Structure 1
Amino acid sequence: MGIARRDLLRWGAGAGGAAAVGALLGAPAAAWAAGRATTPGGVATDSWMGRLDGSLSLLDLTVPGTHDSCCQNPWYGTEWSHTQNWGIPQQLQEGVRFLDIRCNGLQGAPDELGIYHSDAYQHIRLQDVLDQCRAFLAAHPGETLLMRLRNERAGGQALDDQEFQRRVDHYLDGLGYRDLFHFYGWPTLGAARGKVVLLADFANPWGLIDWSSGQNAWFDTQDVWQTGGTDPLGDKGRYVVAQFDKAFSNPGYPRMFVNFLSYAGGYWPRTSSQAVMDRAVYPYLSARTGQRARFGIVPMDFPDFHVNVLQMLIDKNFV
């Protein structure tokens, strides 16, 4: 049975209308009617993890993410440090599930951490990011987030290992964020739902999931951000494709693959991102549209310019 456009408009966007549309057209159409983005495969981007079996390990997923996730404003460090246009809330609504959060000490606040790109303060605090994550997860309890929390060690607000650990402790217990996190070992999706999985890119004695920009017991990471040669962006694309291929060829690999699509190396992030996407990432993913893959964490710059890639990565979990 079809729905006339006049009836769809008459029902409107309220809860009753959305429920009626959902009942007649199914979940993808209901998401569309409610103003929610959906992937080409018909998956609502704000709740895509909720459609997956909770027994899956996070290691079995493809998780789109952002690089330098809070670096929205070129006034805070020039275009060199401008990597995102969407803020964290919109990134999460659009399907991003990995956040790259880099901290130094916050001037004038001896217990707090600010978000930085090197020594450029991004005018947002760690507690602001955590509150945004908590609000999203409360509204979308079927989802989980993965967060790289990095000691940026830059500029006048750089912190040594002991002081960074003390401030993290202050956030967990003094400010009450401990219950937001999953700390130890790769969980199943069911165990991680409603939580932020902490990926510790800072020295610690706590047995956390320890980040690596190369390889360790937890990660196998491609993060080439600078190369020599006559075609550095072409070389970056080849590194990206090789990591995709490695992940596809090793479905039982016991580490989390990470494949950064971002590149600096003398280019503005906006310029390098477009070139790598056009020359390598989109052709690779487009040629494998019907192929399920666990590509792991895939952080990118400016997903608003590359929504097609973001949504293709989400759909990799459902083929």
Structure 2
Amino acid sequence: MGIARRDLLKWGAGFGGAVALGGGLVLPTAARAAARTTPRGLPTDGWMSRLDGNLSLLDLTIPGTHDSCCENPAYGTEWSHTQNWGIPQQLEEGVRFLDIRCNGLQGAPDELGIYHSDNYQHLRLQDVLDRCRTFLQARPGETVVMRLRNERSGGQALGDDEFMRRIDHYFDGLGYRDLFHLYGWPTLGAARGKVVLVADFANPWGLIGWSSGQNEYFDTQDAWQIGGIDPLGTKGQYIVAQFDKARLNPGRSTMFVNFLSYAGGYWPKDSSQRLMDRSIYPYLNARTQQSGRFGIVPMDFPDFHVNVLQMLIDQNVVPPGVHRVPAAGPR
């Protein structure tokens, strides 16, 4: 059954001033308690503003979320439920990478909706962009890295040309072009106040191009389905190996990405908790007095793992006497 455009507009406007959370609403960001502070003293809502603007984004550890808008199992199933925090609270809590997946939107021929596969998440792309812009206007020392994916799924799947046409409509028809940094990995100073766009869609524009493996921009671990008798044990080994690879190669001019999420027949909440307990928390907890770049680290349910989220943020603080080798620099 199609969704009426008036309902799309109503949902987009209705959620604009509040955060959707498990089917209910919580108060807008401004009405919530003061932001958390990490163990090393960084405010989670403004941790990037405390860092040297001459750093390349390639030098940083950037916590993120996987399938960032999949907050409500009613919009799919519990299998596709990956987050409890909405985008505003994710950003307030220190998340700086968003995984945004789009299909076309029935009844809105120029627009994109947020999807998990063919399940509409009752958000439009402009809702996500408006929330990012609101956050960055309030905290201009921060940046957001956004993977924007053509999900190519279901009855609203779009071909390459049509997807690009709609992106161009967002850039110029709806006025979002100035929100983005579009070309090459910037310094933090150049990225501040912007969304750094990572294109997971075919384009001729020379944008930063996503890879779920390796290319000139990325070295990514995203094993989400593994065979064998202990797939979560194997996934944990992959995660640790990618952490080590990023930490021990600080001069590499590619962005490391390490997905902490896993599907493969497990409920996302279950796989996330087991991986945190068995592999991720022990690894990071043993390195709380160290500093290093781990790159982008997307996870499910950071509200269940605030300690891990904050340990990742704190990897950007260089303790006295520790020297970090910078990456090769922005392109």
User: Same fold judged by TM-score > 0.5?
Assistant: yes
Structure 2 equivalent of residue 64 of structure 1: 63
Deviations 1:14-57 (A, max 9, x none): xxxxxxxxxxxxxxxxxxxx722110111100000000000000
Instruction: Show the 5 A alignment for 1:64-213.
Output: 64-213=63-212
Q: Which runs of 5+ in 2 are unaligned?
A: 1-32, 319-331
2:42 is equivalent to residue 43 of structure 1: yes
Structure 2 equivalent of residue 219 of structure 1: 218
Structure 1 equivalent of residue 275 of structure 2: 276
Q: 1:265: how far off?
A: 0.2
Counterparts of 2:302 and 2:35 in 1: how far apart (Å)? 17
For residue 110 of structure 2, give the secondary structure of its aligned residue in structure 1: strand
For residue 316 of structure 2, give the secondary structure of its aligned residue in structure 1: coil
Counterparts of 1:40 and 1:119 in 2: how far apart (Å)? 40
Give the letter for the 1:116 counterpart: Y
Deviations 1:147-206 (A, max 9, x none): 000000000000000000000000000000000000001000000000000000000000
Q: 1:277: how far off?
A: 0.7
Deviations 1:71-90 (A, max 9, x none): 00000111011000000000
Counterparts of 1:36 and 1:202 in 2: how far apart (Å)? 35
**What TM-score results when the alignment is normalised by the length of structure 2?**
0.86
**What TM-score results when the alignment is normalised by the length of structure 1?**
0.89
For residue 47 of structure 1, give the secondary structure of its aligned residue in structure 2: coil
Counterparts of 2:300 and 2:77 in 1: how far apart (Å)? 15
For residue 288 of structure 2, give the secondary structure of its aligned residue in structure 1: coil
Give the letter for the 1:241 counterpart: V
CA RMSD of aligned residues (A): 0.6
Counterparts of 1:269 and 1:95 in 2: how far apart (Å)? 21
For residue 262 of structure 1, give the secondary structure of its aligned residue in structure 2: coil
Q: Which runs of 5+ in 1 are unaligned?
A: 1-33
Q: 1:102: how far off?
A: 0.1
Q: Larger helix proportion, structure 1 or 2?
A: 1
The sequence identity of aligned pairs, in percent, is: 81
Deviations 1:255-287 (A, max 9, x none): 000000000000011110001111000000000
Structure 2 equivalent of residue 293 of structure 1: 292
Give the letter for the 2:309 counterpart: L
For residue 250 of structure 2, give the secondary structure of its aligned residue in structure 1: coil
For residue 243 of structure 1, give the secondary structure of its aligned residue in structure 2: helix
For residue 46 of structure 1, give the secondary structure of its aligned residue in structure 2: coil
For residue 45 of structure 2, give the secondary structure of its aligned residue in structure 1: helix
Counterparts of 1:176 and 1:80 in 2: how far apart (Å)? 35
Give the letter for the 2:43 counterpart: A
